[in-house]
Each structure stands twice: as structure tokens, then as C-alpha cells.
């Protein structure tokens, strides 16, 4: 009996950690994953894979938001004020 050269477990992380093309596409994918998981119709293995992908997407979105926030602070010279304050 021979072993396959790449197991399913080895290939899985590459798919789970593939970056989305944009923040907006990441949010859309995350919303679809949440809906599918909440429907309760996924097999256990697919549920776990969806959870892992969702966690990766959430981390990606948070990092993108933080990067944009830092860019805004640089643009405003670090003197950002709350809305309505002058």
C-alpha cells in the first residue's frame, strides 16, 4: 500500500489561508460562511473547515481595518478628532 504524496490535511491549510482579493470580498465570504454555519446543515468536518476559514477572514479584515485607520491618522497628522468636535 502506498501513501498519497499530499494528504488532505496537508492541502487544507493552503486553502484556508488563501487571502481574498479585497476587504469587501472577505466580508462577503465571511457572511456566507456564517449563514451556512448557522443553518446547521454542514457535516462536522466542513463545519470545522468553515470555522477555520472564518477565523482567518476575520483576522484579515481586522488587519486591513487597522491599516486603513493608521493611514487616516497619518493623513490627518495624528490630530484626528471625534465627529462634531472642532
- Which of 24-28, 52-56, 81-85 shows the lowest per-residue confidence on average (mean pLDDT)? 81-85
Give this prediction's pTM. 0.70
Give the per-residue pLDDT at 8.
Answer: 46
Note the pLDDT tens digit of each residue in 33-80.
999 999 999 999 999 999 999 999 999 999 999 999 999 988 888 665
Give the per-residue pLDDT at 77.
Answer: 84
Q: Which residue has the higher pLDDT, 75 or 28?
A: 28
Cβ atoms within 10 Å, residue 53: 18
Enter the DSSP assignment of 3.
-
The stretch 4-21 carries a mean pLDDT of 63
Amino acid at each position: 500500500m502506498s501513501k498519497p504524496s499530499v494528504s488532505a490535511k496537508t492541502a487544507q491549510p493552503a486553502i484556508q489561508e488563501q487571502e481574498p482579493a479585497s476587504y469587501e470580498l472577505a466580508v462577503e465570504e465571511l457572511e456566507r460562511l456564517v449563514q451556512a454555519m448557522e443553518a446547521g446543515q454542514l457535516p462536522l468536518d466542513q463545519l470545522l473547515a468553515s470555522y477555520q476559514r472564518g477565523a482567518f477572514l476575520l483576522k484579515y479584515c481586522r488587519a486591513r481595518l487597522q491599516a486603513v485607520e493608521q493611514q487616516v491618522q497619518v493623513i490627518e497628522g495624528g490630530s484626528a478628532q471625534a465627529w462634531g468636535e472642532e
